[in-house]
Structure 1
Amino acid sequence: MRRKFADDLKALHDQLLEIGRLTEAALQQAIEAFETKNQNLAKAVIAVDGSIDKLEEKINDFALWLIAKQQPVATDLRRIIAAIKIASDLERIADLAVNIAKACIRIADQPFVANIHNILSMYRLASEMVVVAINAYDQEDISLARSVADMDEKVDQLYGEIMTSLLEMEKTDKEALAQMNVLALVARYIERMADHATNIAEHLIYLVKGKHYNLND
């Protein structure tokens, strides 16, 4: 019975890595679509979101079945709870990638009214946070998890710079207001991605140490 339970936990772990892989791919496609204004790629990001949603549901159902069937204790229970929470954060990150793909479609082929360098830098950093957080979970590496918090500070700094720049532009370029609002939303979506990546790192620390930690403190 214990061997079967260990196999089930491994299957849960593998499912979580799969939703992580799909989310990482959605992130890369969404930023490429945004940067190049590739409408077809943006639509592809939106189309794959349903598969990610279904995988999260599958993970939740499997995790709840394990709790009901095996009645796990201590570390095993934390492992299952962490999996449910991480799957939820990954699904939300994928939703945010969809939101950015939709922003790309709204901008269409219009030239960018502002320099998007900081937005791209922020996006790549947030995407790296997601990758590092998933690796931290896979390897149960607390030092990797803690490094996510350091990157989150840089994301927050870039977010502040972007919003300040857009607010200044709004004072002088009223005609570009509609697109500036879209760019502000994109920056907000990226900032939320980073928050969810930080959540994943915190769930890993909870799994390993059995205590809740706020990495933003």
Structure 2
Amino acid sequence: MREKYEQQLQDVQQRLIQLCELSIHAFDKSLGLLQSQDISKAWIIIEQDRFINRLEQQIQDDVQMIMTKQQPVATDLRRLLVIIRAASEMERIGDYAVSIAKETIRIGENQIVYDLQQLMVMRTLAVDMLQKMLQAFSEENLIEAKEIATLDDEIDQLYGDVLSGFEQERTWHEMHAAQLQSLSFICKYVERAADHATNLAEALFYLVQGKRYDFD
């Protein structure tokens, strides 16, 4: 029975890694398409989200099946609960990719009126956080998980700076208000993605040490 459980657990963990990779790729890609204003490929991001949703649901179903049949306790139960949480958090990253793609489509081919440099720095930091989190989960590396909170602070600072810049731009160019609103939403999605990475760092500490931590 234990051998069967270990195989089932390995299978669901592999699906979680696949979900993470798909979500991170879609998120990073969506921001690149904003920069290039590639509307046709932005539609592809939206269409492909169904694969991420389907994989997340499969992980949830698999974990529920394992919990029902194996009735795990202690560390095994924590591991399964963390897998459910991680799958949910990463599915949200895929949702942010879709939301960014939709805002990119709304902006269309109109010239972007604001310098995207700071937003792209946020993109780099957020993707780095998510990739580090995936690596930390794979290795159960608490040191690397804790470093993610530091990167989140940097993104929070940039987020505040970018929003201030948008407000100044809106004051001078009221006709660009709709585009600046779309860009503000996109910044919020990037900031939230970083928050999800921090949530996963906390979940990893719970998995390994059995204690709840708050890195905010």
Q: Same fold (TM over 0.5)?
A: yes
Structure 1 ranges of 4+ moved more than 3 A: none
The aligned residue for residue 81 of structure 2 is 81
Q: TM-score w.r.t. structure 1 length?
A: 0.97
Q: Distance in 2 between matches of 1:40 and 1:75?
A: 46
**TM-superposition CA deviations, 1:144-195 (whole Å, max 9, x none):** 1111101000000000000111111121111111111111111111111111
Segments of structure 2 that go 5 or more residues without pairing to the other structure are none
The aligned residue for residue 127 of structure 2 is 127
Q: Distance in 2 between matches of 1:192 and 1:213?
A: 19
Check whether the contact 1:149–1:215 (CA below 8 A) recurs between aligned residues. Answer: yes
The aligned residue for residue 17 of structure 2 is 17
Q: Distance in 1 between matches of 2:12 and 2:79?
A: 9
The aligned residue for residue 161 of structure 1 is 161
Q: Helix, strand or coil: the match of 1:33?
A: helix
The aligned residue for residue 210 of structure 2 is 210
Q: Helix, strand or coil: the match of 2:113?
A: coil
**TM-superposition CA deviations, 1:48-72 (whole Å, max 9, x none):** 1001001111000100111111010
1:134 CA displacement: 1.1
What do you get for the CA RMSD once the two structures are aligned? 0.8
Q: Distance in 1 between matches of 2:40 and 2:144?
A: 35
The aligned residue for residue 93 of structure 1 is 93
Is structure 2 residue 158 aligned with structure 1 residue 146?
Answer: no
Q: Distance in 2 between matches of 1:108 and 1:13?
A: 39
1:124 CA displacement: 1.4
Is structure 2 residue 104 aligned with structure 1 residue 104?
Answer: yes
1:27 CA displacement: 1.6
Q: Distance in 2 between matches of 1:41 and 1:201?
A: 32
Q: How many residues align?
A: 216
Greater alpha carbon shift after TM alignment, 153-162 vs 199-208: 199-208
Segments of structure 1 that go 5 or more residues without pairing to the other structure are none
1:44 CA displacement: 1.3
Greater alpha carbon shift after TM alignment, 168-177 vs 56-65: 168-177
Check whether the contact 2:28–2:123 (CA below 8 A) recurs between aligned residues. Answer: no
Q: Counterpart amino acid of 1:32?
A: G
Q: Distance in 2 between matches of 1:30 and 1:172?
A: 28
Q: Distance in 1 between matches of 2:43 and 2:8?
A: 35
